[in-house]
A = this chain, B = another copy of it.
Amino acid sequence: MILTDSLLDFFLTTRKRTEQICEPLEIEDYVVQPIVDVSPPKWHLGHSSWFFEEFILKPHGRDYKIFDADFSFVFNSYYETVGKRVVRSDRGNLSRPSVEKVYAYRDHVTHGIENLFSQNPDPGLYDILEIGIHHEKQHQELLLTDIKYILGNNPLLPVYSDDFQEHRTETHQQDWIAMEEGIYEIGHASDDFCYDNELGRHKVYLQPYEIANKLVTNSDYLAFMDAGGYQKFDLWHAEGWDWVNQNDISAPLYWHQIDGEWHHYTLNGLQKINGNAPVTHISYYEAFAFAQWKGCRLPTEFEWEASQEFFSWGKRWEWTESAYLPYPNYTKADGALGEYNGKFMVNQKVLRGGSVATAENHTRPTYRNFFQTGLRWQFTSLRLTK
């Protein structure tokens, strides 16, 4: 439980950090949406403000003046409870509101929250504020990965920043961590913040297994490519094989072969592949096929959580074999906040860990990220299990 003063600080720091992420952008970079999964940065800035306005300031703000009534429509993402919204595929078609106006909206909302919480509001609001902050931190990660996609989709391949360290290497020896058969407890246990999907804590029975102390590296993955991994149907799910063929996939996202040598687009611009860095920007299908090729498999999310204290993690989101499902005794909140997680619990896979794009202190051993099996624009990777 965070004290109320420090919660307001936490709020202000988070708001500021979001804006820092956007500092290197040109105005034009804020606007476009090259694929439907990516949102324009302008939209992230607006939507994370909308969340505070919609769930705190509109219902509870004293003398709060709505910035622009239309924004309720423009910046709603998927909350059916709240009313209609711009369809996701249309976000990149809107030139207005301008970036300048969106920043004015952010300031307006930030001051509204500051104002409200400096006047001892209803204690129940602190919980919503905390969710809102964590919501914004999730969007910080999306901001970074969406910016990478937007810049990397330009034929000119511009640099985002020379400082950003995407590729922290894994140079230690690969070893197997042996885990014993038995009952393990899974799910969030403390009083600290967590999402509803990490509850309720419950027991699972695990068979004996071994899990790698190291992520798969670019060198490992190049060996898979060189061995014809993308041509061997028997390594793939039927659905994955269709995905490979329909999308002509032959390498991770952002990889370009130039004069016979593999490069990849990074937030530092185009670079040669570093063999010691963990492979990234691969789909679940690719992670699965690689594991098959090694005669191994992906861990379940339970295996991952039970063993995570024995290896270091946090550079890449790690695909698991587990489908994203509710835990026993999962209950969703009433109203719009109940739409946060539960309604996505079908046909997605759980990812565990965190990545170089994850906001500081945002992830934890019980954190459950989730994506559809064909998506690659996050900093995804894999850890072998057997």
A interface residues (Cβ-Cβ under 8 A, vs B): 26-34, 42, 70, 73-74, 78, 80-81, 86, 90, 92-99, 150-151, 153-156, 158, 183, 202-205, 207, 209, 233-234, 236-241, 284-285, 288, 297, 321-323, 325-326, 328-329, 338-339, 343-347, 373
Contact = CB atoms under 8 A, between A and B. Distances in A.
Contacts of A234: 80-81, 338-339
Contacts of A156: 70, 96-97
A160 B50 CA distance: 27
A124 B78 CA distance: 56
Contacts of A30: 28
B328 A207 contact: yes
Contact of A95 (B154, B204, B240): B154
A344 B325 CA distance: 18
A30 B154 CA distance: 16
Contacts of A321: 325-326
A26 B95 contact: yes
Given A73-B155, A321-B325, A322-B325, 13 more contacts: A27-B28, A28-B31, A29-B96, A32-B92, A32-B94, A70-B155, A94-B154, A95-B151, A96-B156, A209-B328, A234-B339, A297-B326, A321-B326
A17 to B, nearest CB: 22
B339 A239 contact: no
B34 A93 contact: yes
Contacts of A346: 237, 239-240, 284-285, 288, 373
Nearest to A339: B234
A304 to B, nearest CB: 15
Contact of A207 (B90, B150, B203, B322): B203
| Chain A contact residues, majority secondary structure | mixed
Contacts of A95: 26, 28-29, 31-32, 150-151, 154
15 contacts: A27-B27, A32-B94, A32-B95, A80-B234, A93-B153, A94-B153, A94-B155, A95-B150, A95-B154, A205-B205, A237-B344, A237-B346, A239-B347, A240-B346, A285-B346
How many copies of this chain does one complex carry? 4
Contacts of A86: 155
Nearest to A208: B328
Contacts of A97: 156
Contacts of A74: 155
Contacts of A345: 237
A153 B93 CA distance: 8
Contact of A154 (B96, B155, B236, B284): B96
Nearest to A236: B343
In the A-B complex, list the 9 residue pairs whose CB atoms are closest, starting with the nearest.
A323-B323, A34-B93, A205-B205, A28-B95, A207-B328, A29-B95, A80-B233, A96-B154, A238-B343
Nearest to A204: B205
A233 to B, nearest CB: 4
Contact of A373 (B240, B328, B347): B347
A111 B309 CA distance: 62
Contacts of A205: 183, 203-205
Nearest to A158: B96
Nearest to A97: B156
A210 to B, nearest CB: 13
A81 to B, nearest CB: 7
